[in-house]
Each structure stands twice: as C-alpha cells, then as structure tokens.
Amino acid sequence: MDIGPADRATRGGVGQIRGMALRRRVRLAGAALALLIGLGFGARWLHFQFTHVVLDDARVASDMVILASRVPGWVQALPVTAGDSVREGELLVQIDAREATLAVEELNARLAGIAARRAELEARLAMVDRQSASQHAAALAKLDAARSTLPAAEAERDFAEAELGRAERLIQTGAGTRQRVEMLSAALHAARQRAIAAAAEIRNAEALMALAQAAREEMQVIARQLESLGPQEREMTAARDRAALDVADRTIRMPFDGVVDRIFMDPGEYVLAGQRIIMVHSPAQIRIEANVKETDVRHFRPGSPVTVRVDAWPGQVFAGVVDRMVEAATSEFALLPSANPSGNFTRITQRLPLRVRLDPPPPPGLLRPGMLVRVTGEARG
C-alpha cells in the first residue's frame, strides 16, 4: 500500500500551522510593543501636561519706532525702502530746508551787526575815557595854576590900593605929586584886572573840570548801551539756535542700527508737523511677549526659566527667562469697556501679559517681530 504522498501532506499541514502560530506570536509581540510604546508616550505626555505650562498666545516683539517730522515741508529725499538694513546715523528722510537755512543766515547777519555795534561802542567808550581823562588832567592843572596865581594877584592889588592911599594923603599935605597918584592909580587898576583874570581862570578851570566830569558820565551812557546789547544778542542767539534746530530736524537719520519696516510717505509729498514718515526697529532688541491664563500665572515670576519654540524654525529651541509681568489683565486695556448691565454673565478666563528675554540673544535678523512662538515653563506647585 502506497502512503508516501499522505505523509508529505501531513508534514506540509503541520508546517503551515506552525508558521501561522509564529506569525500570530510576532503580531502579538508587535502589538504589545506598540502598546508599550504608546503607553510610554502617553505617560510622558501626561507627565508633561501635569508638570509644564505651554503658552500658545505668544509672539516675537520689538520696539517699533515710528519716526515723524517735527516741522512741515516737502520730502526731498527718501533713499531707503522697506526691508533695508540701515546703520546708525545714515540718512532716512530729507525735508526741504531752504527757508529755514535762510532764516539762520539772516539771524547770523543780525548777530554780526550786534557784534559790530558792540565793537563800535567799546571803541567809543575807550576814546571818551581817554579824552575825558586828558581833559580832566588839563583842567585840574589849569585850576591849580589859577589858584596859585590868584593870591599873588590879590596881594598885588592890595599893595597897589595901599600905595595909592598913601600917595593921596601925601598930595593933601603937599608932599606928593599928582603924577605919582596917577601912576599908582593905573597900577591899582592893572592889579585889579589881574585879580579878576585869575578868578576867571579859576572859574574856567572849574568849568573844564565839570565838562570832563560830563564826559565821564557819557561813558556810563555808553556802558548802558553796551549792556542793552546783551539781551538783544541772547534773544537773537536763541532765535538762531531755534532756526538751526529747525534745519537739523529736517534731516531725519537712523537712531540706531536697525531695519526699515514701513514707509508712509513718498518723495515729493508734503509732510505735516507730527505726521509719521517711517517705521523702524532694532533686530538686536528682540523679546517674546506672551499672554498667560490667570489660572497659570502662579507658575511664572520674574527670573523663571522657560523654553521658546518658533513656528518659523521647527526643531530649534531657544532658552529664555521671564523678564517681567504686567500687573493687569489684557481686558483692562480694551478700547471698549466690558460692563455687564444686562445681568447675564459668562465667566471667561482672563490673560495677563508677560515678557520673556532670550538668553543668550539670538543672532540679529533670525527672529522678526510678529512671528508666532510657543513658550513652555515648568508648573511650580
């Protein structure tokens, strides 16, 4: 009896059964491994959720500086465009400064006129000083001479009067002559005239002294005129400096190394005082601003370490520190009040702003204002 083929069939069926059992065990092992991996990831995720707080409402921020014009005028030059990197001190906007420049030149000319007037008055003061000093010295010398001459003239006059008296008495007694009387009378008249002339010289010298004193008083008038030039010069200097400031304000330069974000004007347009022209920011002054739920605010305080992930740079993690926290909820800064006159109330979790400082700072230009980020911090108690 032939049974060979049946044995081979039996052996083949047993092999299939064993293969199926092996594959089943492999699938069960794979399922168990997958379940363990899933449980591990799930446990890790649950542990992360319980031990960390993630802030999705966060963005990259910077101080956006809007440069405006203090003075009105035509925009002559605007050599930059949005997106340009500009160094500190480089020209951003040039406003027409012709009229302001003319005002500065006019005030400089008036100041030069005041300087010339001061020089003239100082020269006149020096001249009057010298002239009055010389006049006073001459008058004083003349007065001294006249005063020294007057006593001699008066003594000569008195002597002549006495001689004439004696001669007249002698002629009455017959001892004198008429000729001598006439001679002594003439001498007396001459002595009197000399005394009068000496007195007149004294009065003339005193008049010259008064004239010299008047000249000295004229010096005071000139000095007052010089003093009056001081306030005028200060007033014009202030006006000149104001006009120079007006000229300087018509040239707007980059206040720091930064980037041009937006331009609101075009060359040739007329800009008003206070009208915004250009918006810039500094890439080196980047920070993270986030809004934390009031139920999670206890986990954050200044100095708390956090990690930052930027949507624009997946896989890259930035270290940061909570720099400060605002002591009011964002709803307090809303333009419209949140009054509830109807009595219906829906309780909504409020958010409080906080600021994160990246440490170490990222390379300039890597993070840009407005980028969305996620801030993660540890749940502390």
pLDDT: which is higher, 11 or 118: 118
Give burial (CB, 10 Å; 0-12/13-18/19+) of 339: exposed
Res. 29: pLDDT tops 60: yes
Q: What's the predicted TM-score (pTM) here?
A: 0.60
> What torsion do the CA atoms of 142, 143, 144, 145 make, to the nearest 10 degrees?
50
Q: How far is CA 95 from CA 82, 183, 336, in A?
A: 19, 102, 39
pLDDT mean over 152-176: 67
- Please give the C-alpha separations between residue 357 and each of 1, 61, 353, 380, in angstroms, as whole numbers: 93, 11, 14, 20
> Which distant-in-sequence residues (6+ apart) come within 8 Å of 197 by Cβ?
153
Contact criterion met (CB below 8 Å) for 92 and 75: no
pLDDT at position 13 is 64
| Mean pLDDT value of segment 261-287 | 91
Instruction: Report pLDDT for 46.
Output: 59
Confidence of residue 2 (pLDDT cuts 50, 70, 90): very low
Percent of the chain residues topping a pLDDT of 90? 28
More confident residue, 140 or 320: 320
Q: Which amino acid is at 174?
A: G
Per-residue pLDDT at 47 exceeds 60 = no
Over residues 54-70, the pLDDT tens digits come to 888 889 998 899 999 88
Q: What is the pLDDT of residue 269?
A: 93
Residue bearing the bigger pLDDT, 215 or 261: 261
Q: Is the dihedral of CA 258, 260, 261, 264 positive or negative?
A: positive
Is 223:45 a contact under the CB 8 Å cutoff?
A: no
* Half-sphere exposure at residue 12, Cβ-oriented, CA atoms within 13 angstroms: 6
Tens of pLDDT, residues 295-311: 888 888 888 888 899 99
Interval 306-326 mean pLDDT? 89
Output 181 or 39, whichever has higher pLDDT: 39
CA distances from 6 to 16, 252, 331 (A): 15, 103, 86
Question: Vertex 328, ends 326 and 329: CA angle to 5°?
Answer: 110
CB-based burial label for 355 (10 Å; 0-12, 13-18, 19+): middle
| pLDDT (0 to 100) of residue 177 | 67
pLDDT digits (tens, 9 = 90+) for 171-230: 667 666 666 666 767 776 777 777 777 777 777 777 777 777 777 777 788 888 888 888
